[in-house]
Amino acid sequence: MNVSDATTRQPSGTEYTVYADLRWPAQTGIGNVMTACLQRAPRSVRVERLGVDGKIGSPLSPLSISAALAGKDRPGAFWSPGFVPPAWGRHPSVVTVHDLTHLHFYSKLHRAYYDLLFRGMYRRCTAIVCVSEYTRSEFLTWSGIESDRVHVVLNGVDPAYALNDETLDIDYPYVLYPGNRRGYKNIDRLLAAYAQSTLPGKGIHLLLTGNPDSKLAALAEKQGVGNLVRFAGEVPDGHMPRLYRGALFVAFVSLYEGFGLPIVEAMASRVPVLTSSTSAMPEIAGRAALIVDPWNVSDIRTGMNRLAEAFTLRQELIEAGVERAARFSWDRAAADHWSVVEDVCLAA
């Protein structure tokens, strides 16, 4: 079954049970997928929270899932909105894989764990859902799973971004980086490019979500822009559309993404986007963003200057971005997810 099959087919109406690992925090990319799917679950599905012991990122998490499933006598399927498969079990399983960062940007031990253990557990899953064509292609190459068991379900974007016209009470112009600060997010190069750009001279700040970071603050001071790099703190989900809407543009030049949700959130907010030429980001952005080489500080700097100064380019990207963002619907994403899960359940 491909994505078009999932989006056009109506639920069968046959009731079925799904045992779901729902330990993901709401304010994460995986949490967004989990929440969107749960809110839009068809009436025919009975979702039962699987009581799994331990932290979701623990190496023992697959064992904990299997132990929890072993006590379930009612027929049904296991569903994880993020990464972690059961180690074994008699229930069919569907797991959503968002990216393969553990193979690229974590330790050799992480990679060995994925290669030696997770790969085999994924192969025992009934179906895998990937959030982009890029992720599916990479996953197929790495896992060796039959292609007809691996499906693409694109993420959506909350309608609140498109509907919002308000900004936060921030009294300076800013470029926004929305996201965490893991190494592959490329914050050091973004900061260096900002410091070398024309933006500081124009009084345009670089605003990062999250709490102040002493290492980044010191780096900003060293670059001569310590007074222009700001931290937004913990912004509630309900205020994020307003934070996006007030930005001159969004700078999301990560080295690697399995999807890149800030790209479409910015587009829906009618804000230009600067993003990367690597991994899934060109696929998600299409022609509606300014794309740069994230490894090249000079290229990032040039892109920032263009988005700060070229009015016509900004307007073209805003218009293209609104059209592009409309393609990413949580209603469609949830329907696609449940279509895959239902097929697995009814075939068992």
**This prediction's pTM:** 0.92
Mean pLDDT of 58-73: 93
> pLDDT value at position 27?
72
Mean pLDDT of 302-312: 96
Cβ atoms of residues 15 and 346 within 8 Å: no
Mean pLDDT of 52-59: 88
Do both 314 and 173 map to the same domain? yes
> pLDDT value at position 53?
84
Do both 105 and 187 map to the same domain? no
Domain count for the chain, please give it: 2
Give the single-character DSSP code of 269: T
Do both 85 and 144 map to the same domain? yes
Please state at what angle helix 330-347 crosses helix 29-39, rounded to 10 degrees: 70
Positive or negative, the CA dihedral 133, 46, 42, 22 is negative
> pLDDT value at position 10?
60
The CATH number of the domain holding residue 292 is 3.40.50.2000
Instruction: Give me 195's structure tokens.
Output: 């410091």
> pLDDT value at position 8?
44
Mean pLDDT of 166-177: 96
Confidence of residue 9 (pLDDT cuts 50, 70, 90): low
- Cα separation values, 255 from 125, 133, 275, 286, 291, Å: 29, 17, 10, 17, 12
Mean pLDDT of 306-327: 96
> pLDDT value at position 5?
38
> pLDDT value at position 2?
36
> pLDDT value at position 123?
96
Mean pLDDT of 76-94: 94
Do both 239 and 96 map to the same domain? no
Do both 180 and 292 map to the same domain? yes
Do both 98 and 12 map to the same domain? yes
Confidence of residue 6 (pLDDT cuts 50, 70, 90): very low
C-alpha to C-alpha distance for 208 and 113, rounded to whole angstroms? 33
Closest CA to 217 of 237, 242, 187, 245: 187
Mean pLDDT of 329-341: 95
DSSP state string for 115-148:
IIIIHHHHHTSSEEEESSHHHHHHHHHHH---GG
Do both 208 and 242 map to the same domain? yes
Do both 49 and 173 map to the same domain? no
Do both 101 and 191 map to the same domain? no
* Residues of the chain above pLDDT 70, percent: 96
pLDDT at 238 > cutoff 70: yes
pLDDT at 330 > cutoff 90: yes
pLDDT at 12 > cutoff 80: no
Domain housing 46: 3-156+329-347
Q: Which residues contact 168 (CB under 8 A, 6 or more apart)?
A: 239, 242, 243, 246
Task: Give the residue, 32 or 229, on which the prediction is more confident.
Answer: 229
Do both 13 and 152 map to the same domain? yes
Which element (helix H / strand E) includes 92?
Answer: none
> pLDDT value at position 74?
86
C-alpha to C-alpha distance for 190 and 112, rounded to whole angstroms? 31
Closest CA to 77 of 4, 2, 127: 127
Confidence of residue 11 (pLDDT cuts 50, 70, 90): low
> pLDDT value at position 107?
84
Residues 265-276: tens digit of each pLDDT: 999 999 999 999
Instruction: Give me 186's structure tokens.
Output: 């490329």
Average per-residue pLDDT for the chain = 93
Instruction: Give me 305's structure tokens.
Output: 């200057």
pLDDT at 183 > cutoff 50: yes
Look at the chain and count its residues.
Answer: 348
What Rg do the C-alpha atoms of the chain give, in angstroms?
21
Do both 128 and 94 map to the same domain? yes
Do both 204 and 315 map to the same domain? yes
DSSP state string for 159-202:
HHHHH--------S-EEEE-S---GGG-HHHHHHHHHHSSTGGG
Task: Give the residue, 106 or 24, on which the prediction is more confident.
Answer: 24
- Cα separation values, 322 from 20, 76, 273, 309, 315, Å: 34, 40, 11, 21, 11
